[in-house]
């Protein structure tokens, strides 16, 4: 994983999922935006970034690219990601929401075979405070430190970062894995990465209803994670039959236990793993300070 200020970054597609404000924010943060790719738009400049028709043309001019941020139409994500992988890019962040699940299954098979890290879809990306911003996360809520945020949510991630910053708890990294039904890297993969990260001293896990990712993460934390983990699960007051956008659609049809995927199921699993669960985001700093002691 290469998340340093000199990381070479490419943007594939400039749709409604990313704006001039986001691009300017990344550049102002010091992110090394090399180029953009828009088929048929080569030779132009957009937001003061050179535009190419193909990813391989960017690699041909600038050599190896570390990360691509994909912002194309959901039905074009698979082709864009496969093009990036074929050009040797091994870190992919997918901002676009609503990517067809079967497209993601195909992408993940290729990503696993090529050891490519995929974040998203439906993700605001990654920020390493003070070093690099990859995506649409608002950098003003973050400050460098030792607490990692690992989330399925988007705006809730920023709210928690702001609560930590207000409490004097800086962040080592913030990753939103995405909230579509099928996403790339999992909570478990990132928990392993963060447990081995020298900069991270504690982890905040942010979940929401739908699927069984938080339950799987709770079991993994109990078995394998040595660092303190504090959690927050959104939607504990939501009606039990309410599915959250794409996150609950698969769970609704597989015949699991009626409690499967609910916020209460996730809270129960985390409690069993002895992970403190905050009742609201403002309680997270307090639980973190206790855990760090």
Decide if 130 is inside a domain: no
CA distances to 62, 119, 150, 207, 241 from 156, in Å: 36, 17, 11, 10, 22
Nearest Cα to 131, choosing from 164, 184, 92, 170?
A: 170
What is the distance, to the nearest Å, from the Cα of residue 73 to the centroid of all Cα atoms in its chain? 18
Whole-angstrom distance, CA of residue 50 vs CA of residue 34: 8
165 and 109 within one domain: no
Question: Please, which pLDDT band fits residue 25 given cuts at 50, 70 and 90?
Answer: very high
Decide if 127 is inside a domain: no
Q: Which of 119, 146, 175 is the last residue of a domain?
A: 119
Q: Which domain holds residue 189?
A: 138-292
Question: Please, which pLDDT band fits residue 235 given cuts at 50, 70 and 90?
Answer: confident
The H or E element spanning position 146 is strand 144-151
What average pLDDT score do residues 117-141 get? Answer: 97
153 and 94 within one domain: no
Q: Which of 113-117, 144-148, 188-192, 247-251 has the lowest mean pLDDT?
A: 247-251
* 289: CB partners within 8 A, 6+ apart: 167, 169
196 and 97 within one domain: no
DSSP character at residue 205: E
Nearest Cα to 198, choosing from 148, 125, 161, 150?
A: 148
161 and 42 within one domain: no
DSSP character at residue 211: S
**What's the structural domain count of the chain?**
2
142 and 115 within one domain: no
Runs of H (alpha helix) within the chain: 20-28, 55-62, 77-86, 101-114, 155-166, 187-195, 213-224, 263-272, 284-292
What average pLDDT score do residues 187-200 get? Answer: 97
Decide if 1 is inside a domain: no
Nearest Cα to 266, choosing from 293, 291, 238?
A: 238
Mean pLDDT, the chain, rounded, equals 93
**pTM (2 d.p.):** 0.93
Decide if 61 is inside a domain: yes
What average pLDDT score do residues 6-11 get? Answer: 96
171 and 76 within one domain: no
DSSP string, 256-268: --TTTT-HHHHHH
Decide if 225 is inside a domain: yes
263 and 196 within one domain: yes
What average pLDDT score do residues 75-96 get? Answer: 98
Query: Which CATH number fits the domain that encloses residue 91?
Result: 3.40.50.720
275 and 177 within one domain: yes
Query: Which CATH number fits the domain that encloses residue 199?
Result: 3.40.50.261
37 and 157 within one domain: no
149 and 85 within one domain: no
95 and 59 within one domain: yes
Measured from the Cβ of residue 74, the count of other Cβ atoms closer than 10 Å reads 18
- For residues 94 and 77, the answer to whether their CB atoms sit within 8 Å is yes
Q: Is 243 exposed, middle or buried (0-12, 13-18, 19+ CB in 10 A)?
A: middle
- For residues 206 and 234, the answer to whether their CB atoms sit within 8 Å is yes
Q: Which of 89, 119, 149 is the last residue of a domain?
A: 119
Quick check: helix, strand or coil at residue 21? helix
Q: Which of 88, 119, 150 is the last residue of a domain?
A: 119
164 and 64 within one domain: no
Longest dimension (CA), the chain: 57
Decide if 133 is inside a domain: no
What average pLDDT score do residues 165-172 get? Answer: 98
Decide if 266 is inside a domain: yes
Decide if 128 is inside a domain: no
Whole-angstrom distance, CA of residue 24 vs CA of residue 255: 46
């Amino acid at each position: 994983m290469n998340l340093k200020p000199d990381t070479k970054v490419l943007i594939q597609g400039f749709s409604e999922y990313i704006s001039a404000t986001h691009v300017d924010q990344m550049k102002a943060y010091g992110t090394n935006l090399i180029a953009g790719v828009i088929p048929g738009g080569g030779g132009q400049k957009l937001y003061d970034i050179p535009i190419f028709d193909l990813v391989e043309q960017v690699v041909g001019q600038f050599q190896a690219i570390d990360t691509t941020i994909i912002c194309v139409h959901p039905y074009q994500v698979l082709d864009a990601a496969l093009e990036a992988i074929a050009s040797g890019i091994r870190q992919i962040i997918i901002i676009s929401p609503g990517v067809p699940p079967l497209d993601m299954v195909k992408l993940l098979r290729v990503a696993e075979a090529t050891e490519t890290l995929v974040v998203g879809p439906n993700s605001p990306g990654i920020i390493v405070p003070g070093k690099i911003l990859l995506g649409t996360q608002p950098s003003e809520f973050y400050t460098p430190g030792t607490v990692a945020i690992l989330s399925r949510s988007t705006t809730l991630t920023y709210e928690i970062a702001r609560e930590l910053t207000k409490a004097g708890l800086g962040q080592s990294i913030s990753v939103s894995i995405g909230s579509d039904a099928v996403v790339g890297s999992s909570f478990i993969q990132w928990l392993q990465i963060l447990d081995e990260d020298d900069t991270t001293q504690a982890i905040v896990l942010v979940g929401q209803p739908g699927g069984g990712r938080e339950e799987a993460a709770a079991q993994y934390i109990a078995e394998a994670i040595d660092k303190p983990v504090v959690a927050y699960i959104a939607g504990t007051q939501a009606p039990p039959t309410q599915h959250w956008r794409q996150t609950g659609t698969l769970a609704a049809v597989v015949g699991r236990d009626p409690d499967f995927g609910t916020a209460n199921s996730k809270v129960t699993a985390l409690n069993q793993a002895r992970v403190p669960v905050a009742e609201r985001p403002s309680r997270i700093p307090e639980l973190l300070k206790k855990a760090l002691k």
